Amino acid sequence: MDILRISSTQNPRIKHLIALQQKAQLRRSEQRIVVEGARELQHCINAGFKVETVIYCPEIFDISTILNSSYELIEVTPQVYEKIAYRGSTEGVIAIVKPRQLSLNDIDLGDNPLIIVLEGVEKPGNIGAVLRSADAARATAVIVCDPLTDLYNPNLIRSSIGAIFTVPCVASSSDECIKFLKDNNINILTAQLQDSEPYYDTPMHGATAIVMGTEATGLTNAWRQVATAHIRIPMQGQLDSLNVSVSTAILLFEAVRQRLTRGA
């Protein structure tokens, strides 16, 4: 197998990789994303995404663990890898991958769907953490409404530890998502402080969408008005909110508890 070896940070291939990492517009125009880290890449491969190029540093990463004749292989020096690594603690491997752009109609709802909806959540780290919880709870999908960040942002991929590849994740407008949920008879539970009941008093064992807003502004009226129920996490301290990813995890696993209790 031919391996291209690069030792200069000024190499055009290296400059292009860095541009893909940094520019969402370039990722969209070329329909390519950057996946960094051994676990993340393995999840990507297992999910059947098309890996085109694997860039690795042999002093850090053993390429034989993911060797496949369909990948272009580029070997780089530690100095070059340090330049291209999004984070210093990664495992010596980065890949260029063709993404999948899923739509709402691509979601396989199954018999009893459990969906997380995020409205206007901006920070890639928060979305990544929500995806990790969604994977752990075996949620049906995560729908990001009116997204303010690229779903394949490198930081989102890293913070999800590859859950972006294991959980169907769809970008949508709120109007489209509301119609989709209603058309499929999925209960809409909105997390909000006002006019709400404790989450553990609300049924979540049936087809359910848990809708989360930003910590700063919460949900828009569009979601509040169509909700089947409004739910909240009772707060015992002086603050009135949790990080959105923490709140999502609490609500997700209440749904899991109810389903296990009822044998769903």
Per residue in 37-76, pLDDT (tens digit) is: 999 999 999 999 999 999 999 999 988 887 777 889 999 9
Per residue in 231-247, pLDDT (tens digit) is: 999 988 877 778 899 99
Max Cα-Cα span within the chain: 64
Q: What is the dihedral of CA 119, 121, 122, 128, to 10 degrees?
A: -120
Instruction: Dig out the tokens for 209 from the structure.
Output: 């969408």
CA-to-CA distance for 149 and 163, rounded, in angstroms?
Answer: 17
Q: What is the pLDDT of residue 195?
A: 86
User: 3-98 is classed in which CATH architecture?
Assistant: 2-Layer Sandwich (3.30)
**Chosen CATH of 104-262 out of 3.30.420.40, 3.90.1720.10, 3.40.1280.10, 3.40.50.2300:** 3.40.1280.10
Is residue 96 within 8 Å of residue 53, measured between CB atoms?
A: yes
Q: What is the pLDDT of residue 150?
A: 86
CA-to-CA distance for 263 and 205, rounded, in angstroms?
Answer: 9
Q: Which helix (H) or strand (E) holds 42?
A: helix 38-46
For residue 225, CA distances in Å to 94, 136, 188, 220, 222 come to 44, 30, 10, 9, 6
Indicate where the chain has its CATH 3.30.1330.30 domain(s).
3-98
Q: Residue 4's closest CA among 87, 85, 96, 91?
A: 96
Q: What is the pLDDT of residue 89?
A: 61
CA-to-CA distance for 41 and 44, rounded, in angstroms?
Answer: 5
Indicate where the chain has its CATH 3.40.1280.10 domain(s).
104-262
CA-to-CA distance for 163 and 165, rounded, in angstroms?
Answer: 5
